[in-house]
Structure 1
Amino acid sequence: MSPRKPAPSFEIDASKLPPLGMPPAQFLRDYWQKRPLLIRNAFPGFVSPIQPEDLAGLACEEAALSRIVVHDRPSDAWTLRSGPFQEEEFPGMPHHDWTLLVQDVDKWDEDVRALLAHFDFLPRWRIDDIMVSFAATGGSVGAHVDQYDVFLLQAQGERRWQIDARPNPPTAFRDDVELKLLREFNPTHDWVLQPGDMLYLPPGVPHHGVAVNPCLTFSVGMRAPSAAELIGDYLDTLVADADEGLRYGDRDLTPPTDPYEIDTAAMGRVVEALNALRMNDPDKLAGWFGRFITTYRSAGEVAPTPSARSRIEIEWDLGHGAELHRHPMSRLAWRKATRSTKAGGAQLFCSGLEFTLPVKDAQRIAAAETLDGTGYSALGEAGREAVLELLALGHYQLLGEAGDED
């Protein structure tokens, strides 16, 4: 019998191969949704693109999703407040035991968003957002579990992380606090992260982070909708699109043995009626999922362009140095069409919208956060029309057009 292969390590130095310290295929095989990993020097020499005061300013914005968590150690009481906050609040905050968290910072700051390029070993539509937290010394959000994968990048200062990497750890919540904190937490690993270190946690791993000193932590979280969310949204789509003519029928009915019994034949007809809704149709399912997964939950919304320019004006501007910049809240993805899908080759999805396009057009539009005149001209007619429609709906902004000061 061959010797058992040793289990992958819980810690690695990524200095020579950042950000994972190994080829992405190896990480996905050995760690992704299987095993936590502390990655030392995932971003060697990392310097945070934002400062704590920047985060505090963002937390004062009406459209930002922000929270403050305060821990009173003597009573072990936890307080949660949601933003927006007032600027004058922050100078008076204590020097310990509180945390400010702001969601979607990648949508507000281009330098933070640029970090996502380092995670291109994952489908972009799986990445939810980059949440940034500032914690005063001792600040924490308590021991908890997340139901999604997360990469915790230390951006500034030091944070102590404890995790429970045992199989089937206890996950019952306390019932005396507003936050979903663990009633019992027994860590198996204890680390202090420096700037540039990153901790990967699969779903369901109990963890607890405490600021050793004032620090910033970037949380790159994945979107992982629950089965209930998927079923609920898909059923809503089926109901909205259902043909009233599709009904339960029993043309093969025979006299029942017991008129009050729901027999096997009746249940077979129920299944047939449900199948008529094409619940098992892969194209219908894929179209729904593309629209669903690109619809973003956020306080910010994409609004239509107030004053629409003509196509001739837009294309003239693009030919003379203007660029189309995608709205940071817009989420895009695409899929190849199957034989049964209408002609076009691919489906492009943008924030719940769907376009049928050639594959190359769908790929280019999904990947390009900006489109200049050359990029726009490289698209086919269907791709250009899709871009112009997305511009009219606010998913792009035209910068540098004639008369623009920029």
Structure 2
Amino acid sequence: MAEFPIEVRASRQQRLGMPVNTFLRDYWQQRPLLVRGAFAPWRDPLSAEDLAGLACEDLALARLIRLDRKRNHWSVERGPFDEQIFPALPKRDWTVLVQDVDKWDPDVRQLLDVFEFLPRWRIDDVMVSFAAPGGSVGPHTDHYDVFLIQGSGQRRWQLDLRGHAARFRQDSELKLLENFQSDVDWLCQPGDMLYLPPEVPHFGEATSACLTFSIGFRAPSRSELLADLADHLETTDDGLTRFADPGRQPVRDSGRIEPDDLDRVRDLLRQTAELSDAALSEWFGRAMTRYRNPGLLAAPPKAISKAQLIKRLQAGTHLVRHPFTRLAWRASRPGARLYALGDALSTSTKLASTLCGSLHGDLAWFEQLSEDEQQIVLQLVNTGHLAIERA
């Protein structure tokens, strides 16, 4: 491990403590990395009280995890919670976690700007947790990459890098490791950031009341991808291709599955794996903008016209991506294909890139678009993907 240090210090020029290319080459999906001071000086983008309030909202995905130390038992309660639950909690050994906080809070959402060196379609959400002293979710592994940013307070992180075979406890709905043994022990301060690749056993415990901001990345499984592709193929001509067996020979045993039939099935499935680049990318763009979406996007109650949109922009408003949408694009001659929660639109490369990037669409920006581009923007407004905000 000396060749690849697992603890470094950030600088103004290098938030990761090294060039991005070095991080991607030597650490991404390979080994953990603690970056001291990655977000120093740190200021919490939301408070523990704000998080507790969000955990009480009907549409928020929240959990409360408690540890009974005498029984060494973790229990889970799911939100939304009554606001009276938090003052009644003990002084230690519990944590509240809320998913998708970036969708609800613009200041938390800004944390994602730091990770623009990774494709946005890979990012899942920002989960925020508040833990009383001793609060944790127990020793576990994750199937995805995660950056854990330490907010106010302190948290102790222990990691097992020796690759012990995972065994899981049977006494909790949490998938807790039964045989966790740490060989790395860190105390994280506000502004420190811990990167963990998939399947690294880890255990984080608050040593004081603390906030932690977790940027999780999506990693769809092969079975999920195949299931989605199968659904997609049902809507295309490719999905109409059926098993065929011309030139079949008589069988001796009608109950037996013949090796030749398995070869025919393999050939049929291989045709699916050999989709054209255009067909594969069309499915993937739709799938990845739809995958694990909370489904809280709603179109405005009444569609607006181009003239009405211009009038609103003239009043000083601007267009932004709705926090619950997910956009991505790919090059497609003569321009681009833009994907929005599973839908696909053809537009210019410039507009697609802008809509998926740091969009701040004011009147001047809208007026310099072509007529076709303006119609795309208007369509996205009327389907809820773009929102009109006051400056």
Structure 2 length normalisation: TM-score?
0.93
**C-alpha distance in 1 between matches for 2:248 and 2:321:** 61
**C-alpha distance in 1 between matches for 2:261 and 2:83:** 65
1:353 aligns with 2:348: no
1:350-395 per-residue CA deviation (whole Å, 9 max, x = no partner) reads: 1111111221121111114431122223333333222211111111
1:123 aligns with 2:119: yes
Aligned-residue offset at 1:315 = 2.5
Find the counterpart in structure 1 of residue 156 from structure 2.
160
Aligned-residue offset at 1:191 = 0.5
Residues 277/184 of structure 1: CA separation in 2 closer, same or farther (3 Å cut):
closer
**C-alpha distance in 1 between matches for 2:184 and 2:14:** 23
The 3-state SS of whatever aligns with 2:311 is helix
**C-alpha distance in 2 between matches for 1:245 and 1:80:** 45
Give the alignment partner of residue 194 of structure 1, picking from 174, 179, 189. 189
1:181 aligns with 2:171: no
Alignment of 1:3-402 (within 5 A): 6-166=2-162, 168-242=163-237, 246-251=241-246, 253=247, 255-256=249-250, 258=252, 260=254, 266-274=261-269, 280-299=275-294, 301-337=296-332, 343-400=333-390
**C-alpha distance in 2 between matches for 1:292 and 1:254:** 38
Contact 1:154 1:198 in 2 (8 A): yes
Contact 1:361 1:380 in 2 (8 A): no
Letter paired with 2:166: T
**C-alpha distance in 1 between matches for 2:157 and 2:249:** 69
**C-alpha distance in 1 between matches for 2:259 and 2:87:** 70
**C-alpha distance in 1 between matches for 2:104 and 2:87:** 23
1:142-195 per-residue CA deviation (whole Å, 9 max, x = no partner) reads: 0000010001100110000000112x3222210111110001101110000000
Aligned-residue identity in percent = 47
Letter paired with 2:210: C
Letter paired with 1:37: L
1:277-311 per-residue CA deviation (whole Å, 9 max, x = no partner) reads: 67522221111111111115354510111022222
**C-alpha distance in 2 between matches for 1:359 and 1:373:** 20
**C-alpha distance in 1 between matches for 2:100 and 2:267:** 44
**C-alpha distance in 2 between matches for 1:31 and 1:348:** 31
Find the counterpart in structure 2 of residue 340 from structure 1.
none
**C-alpha distance in 2 between matches for 1:398 and 1:16:** 34
Letter paired with 1:162: Q
The 3-state SS of whatever aligns with 2:87 is helix
Letter paired with 1:224: A
Aligned-residue offset at 1:242 = 4.6
1:327-348 per-residue CA deviation (whole Å, 9 max, x = no partner) reads: 10111111112xxxxx542111
Q: Gapped runs of 5+ residues in structure 1?
A: 338-342, 401-405
Letter paired with 2:385: H
The 3-state SS of whatever aligns with 1:361 is helix
**C-alpha distance in 2 between matches for 1:9 and 1:374:** 48
Contact 2:156 2:204 in 1 (8 A): yes
Aligned length: 390
**C-alpha distance in 2 between matches for 1:165 and 1:278:** 36
Residues 388/16 of structure 1: CA separation in 2 closer, same or farther (3 Å cut):
closer
The 3-state SS of whatever aligns with 1:301 is coil
Contact 1:66 1:103 in 2 (8 A): yes
**C-alpha distance in 1 between matches for 2:288 and 2:279:** 14
**C-alpha distance in 2 between matches for 1:105 and 1:382:** 34
Q: Gapped runs of 5+ residues in structure 2?
A: none
